[in-house]
Structure 1
């Protein structure tokens, strides 16, 4: 069997992460312009939640498939699907088409997120994994620096469609590297995939998001979600090969990591989705300025991750988790207080930086704690479960905030949503009547301010969950020694 070329495999995984990180900053920068061009401010949140929802649903499924059939085929399939979704997104001529294409992108991203982090867990030891975080943190930092500028330049000089096309060359290079340099040996055994659990989980998450998006008005969807998710848990307790083994949540580190991850992701995705909208729609800033508000967070995250990788083996998981989540709370408070029409942008920028630094300490510690708690056979589903709760938290958070925003815009029935689309255009609604422009700006500002406090509440809840993280040693558990990319005999 050929051996894996670890450095080039790591570069391929870093490139896939770069695609995901760049996508976050570039799309957030371009979205107000997209809404102005295609219309449909009421569908603004769905461009993000459709992506997160499809990746959320598939993360645990891909994680199980990676444990059963190997990491490589699942990863390659995910990149291919992501690239097709990117091309279709760039070719979109309506919000409905863009949302459908983003859903396809998310289906691919679910495989990329799960298997890339699982592969890192396979080919590096705990001590090496803590250090290799600096490589991936640098990728996040680079994307955070070039993303807003790239998005602004693309929107200004080309077209927002090219925001999605830039993924294609990076994806093709990643595919080539993985095909050539990553090799694994998987000993297949006759196992059945839990189709019933996958179907119940998918339907339950969709119903839950629809209910949350309706701000509780859609009680039927919430009731259906509750029934389906309870049925999912019951099925998982009975089947021999569950999508998400309920037994892993008996491990305190995994249970607390799942809860904290869901809550801080709701705050993170809420910030990356609605801060650029506020800067461009309320303050009248350019797409580059709007996207640049995210940069302090995305640069602060990798810097903190590099430091966290060095401190993890000395301090353990708990101090990094609590310290990081505490900084995140401070950052979101500054963000909520500082994003005001009359306030200088420096205050929310500092808040975003503190928020990112906090998450940079927290996220790697939570993920490594989860991977260290289980053996090879469960590492895929354990990693997937951690990512699942992060993405479900982000999707539900953005969906809830989208419902808040739309409800504020619809308070005055005399204000058409088409005028809100015009407000986000390059002229910032200068052709609208002054009274309408003032009313619309006020409604948009009010809805987004409520969202910023929801972001703060999610960060506080994540810190509260982190208080219950167990005091465990970082050098114990099934992952105490170097691991192989081959499945155990």
Structure 2
């Protein structure tokens, strides 16, 4: 097989092309590489499964310890802490090294899980969820950052595909685990069950990961102003989404956008940064790549309302609606595993094709989801296809995008670039979820509600969020021009 060619831009703008020998899943999953893959993918799985377990058991938690008024904040604070963890990953790697960073992340996650499992009131639960989020954010960002450190470049694409596939696994496994514990009134055991797995991965990291990285990275101070603004932006958009008033929702979104603008202004002059240099401009490969990541994450956010809409408009049971909505994650998982192979010859095409398929999926949802189907397959089939295409498009482009981030980040800011991907991804999800809530409310999902409200919401969610992958196609062409036409 013809070996893949990696193009990176040097500081002077010239291209360095190097041939690499073929790689396969056997090379990634065998020997020491397989142990590394297990540790990194396992940490992501732990974080992802926990999200779905916690979401599933939380009604039982509230019924037991109270705190219904703070129900939404169990997710909000978890997301905020995850974003902070991702943003601080480069600093943690520089301070503790690969092995130490992974162990710290796992201990934080386990500590949060233990606190949540022992919670006797909602404030304690919120503290536990925050610790879980911080540790989980570290684990997720470290999976990308350590991929570059412990694996050869020819395996990056496959490892990124494996990391992404773990979210699809968690989508299917997490709700089932949480549902079993919730059904038997043992929500605490839902959290306890994650502790032995956390210990296993901590031991695995201690015995296999390198103590230090061979890569030299800049040591900089923590970007305190940017982190404060980033936290405030997430809280603003989350708080706005909790209000039934459109004015407050718009205010939260506007405040978040303003604070992101302030972060961009600070980053241009700061020595301590959230993202690598010039990441807030489309004139650079990193700026364009990060924007594609954000737009793809925005494009999938109608998923939040898909289970409800399938129940209301297409007569599906809660269980079937949930699993049909999971088709988006299944599509993502399948595409990342396939594209890890395809990107060896067609990485540039995948970056453009991915947003195009996501856009096609949203168009199908705009046409068929608003109809009153009553469970008929002539309507459900294209809806299912649309859900698969949305996830498939994102997964198709993902390994090539992440690989290009590694290739185009300055040599002294590789850890910052890896953590930045997760920071951008998680913030875009938080922002998109709040925006989806606003669009659905304005479209009438609650008032007038019923079939008419659900139908209008389905249409406008698909139409409004289709703008994100449409814009991503244009940015993807720019990425190809800036980074080269091969993987």
TM-score range, shorter chain: 0.7 to 0.9
Q: Flag the 1:394–1:219 CA change in 2: closer, same or farther, 3 A.
A: closer
Q: Which residue pairs with 2:353 in the alignment? A: 323
Matching of residue 362 in structure 1 with residue 397 in structure 2:
yes
> Which sits farther off after the overlay, 368-377 or 245-254?
245-254
Kindly provide the CA deviation profile for residues 24-69 of structure 1, in whole angstroms up to 9, marking residues without a partner as x: 4445555677678788888665443332222123322223432455
Deviations 1:397-428 (A, max 9, x none): 2223345667868758xxxxxxxxxxxxxxxx
2-structure distance, mates of 1:30, 1:278: 22
Q: Contact conserved, 2:446 with 2:453, CA < 8 A, in 1?
A: no
Moved more, 370-379 or 344-353: 344-353
C-alpha distance 410-334 of structure 1, shift in aligned 2 (>3 A): closer
Q: What is the TM-score when the length of structure 1 is the normalising length?
A: 0.76
2:468 equivalent in structure 1: 461
Equivalent position to 1:239, from 256, 270, 291? 270
Q: Once the 2 structures are TM-superposed, how far is the Cα of residue 280 of structure 1 from its aligned partner?
A: 6.7
Q: Which has the higher contact order (CA 8 A, sep 6+)?
A: 1
Residue 247 of structure 1 aligns to a residue whose secondary structure is coil
- The question of 1:313 aligning with 2:374 is answered no
CA contact (8 A) 1:54 1:110 kept: yes
Q: Which residue of the partner structure matches residue 442 of structure 1?
A: 450
**Alpha-carbon distance in structure 2 between the residues aligned to 1:299 and 1:8:** 25
Q: Contact 1:264–1:459 (CA<8 Å) still a contact in 2?
A: no
Which residue in the other structure is 1:433 paired with?
none
Q: Deviations over 1:127-182 (max 9, x none)?
A: 22123345435544443443343344333345444443332222111111001110
Contact conserved, 1:5 with 1:182, CA < 8 A, in 2? no
Which stretch shows the higher mean deviation, 201-210 or 34-43?
34-43
Which of 209, 216, 226 is the aligned partner of 1:197? 226
- CA distance in structure 1 between the partners assigned to 2:72 and 2:299 by the alignment: 14
Q: Aligned residue for 1:386?
A: 421
Mapping of residues 50-449 of structure 1, within 5 Å:
50-67=77-94, 69-91=96-118, 98-136=125-163, 138-185=165-212, 191-211=220-240, 214=243, 215-217=246-248, 225=256, 228-250=259-281, 252-271=284-303, 273-278=304-309, 288-317=319-348, 319-335=349-365, 337-338=368-369, 340=372, 342-344=374-376, 345-403=380-438, 411=447, 442=450, 446=453
Contact 1:9 1:182 in 2 (8 A): yes
8 Å CA contact retained: 1:256, 1:466: no
Q: Which residue of 2 aligns with 1:426?
A: none
Is it true that 1:48 corresponds to 2:59 in the alignment? Answer: no
Distance 1:58 1:147, change over 3 A: closer
What is the CA–CA distance in structure 1 between the aligned matches of 2:424 and 2:200, rounded to whole Å?
Answer: 30
Unaligned runs of 5+ in 1: 413-440, 477-489
50 and 193 in structure 1: CA distance in 2 versus 1, 3 angstrom threshold: closer
Shift of 1:370: 0.9
Contact 1:134 1:306 in 2 (8 A): yes
The question of whether the paired residues in 2 share the 8 Å contact of 1:45 and 1:398 is answered with: no
Please report the TM-score for the alignment, with normalisation by the length of structure 2.
0.76
Cα–Cα, structure 1 residues 352 and 39, in superposed 2: closer, same or farther, change >3 Å? farther
Residues 328 and 392 of structure 2 are in contact (CA less than 8 Å); yes or no, is this contact kept in structure 1? yes
Number of residue-to-residue matches in the alignment:
442
Partner residue of 2:22?
Answer: none
Unmatched runs of 5 consecutive residues or more in structure 2 = 1-30
Q: Is the 8 A contact 2:234 2:430 kept in 1?
A: no
Cα separation, 2, equivalents of 1:448 and 1:262? 27
For residue 386 of structure 1, report the CA deviation from its aligned partner: 1.9
Q: Do the aligned residues in 2 keep the contact of 1:329 with 1:456 (CA within 8 Å)?
A: no
- TM-superposed deviation, 1:96: 6.2
TM superposition shift of 1:15: 0.9
Kept in 2, the 8 Å contact 1:75–1:116? The answer is: no
Q: Deviations over 1:61-98 (max 9, x none)?
A: 22343245533333322222222333344455666665
Q: Post-superposition shift, 1:312?
A: 0.8
CA–CA separation in structure 2 for the residues paired with 1:126 and 1:20? 25
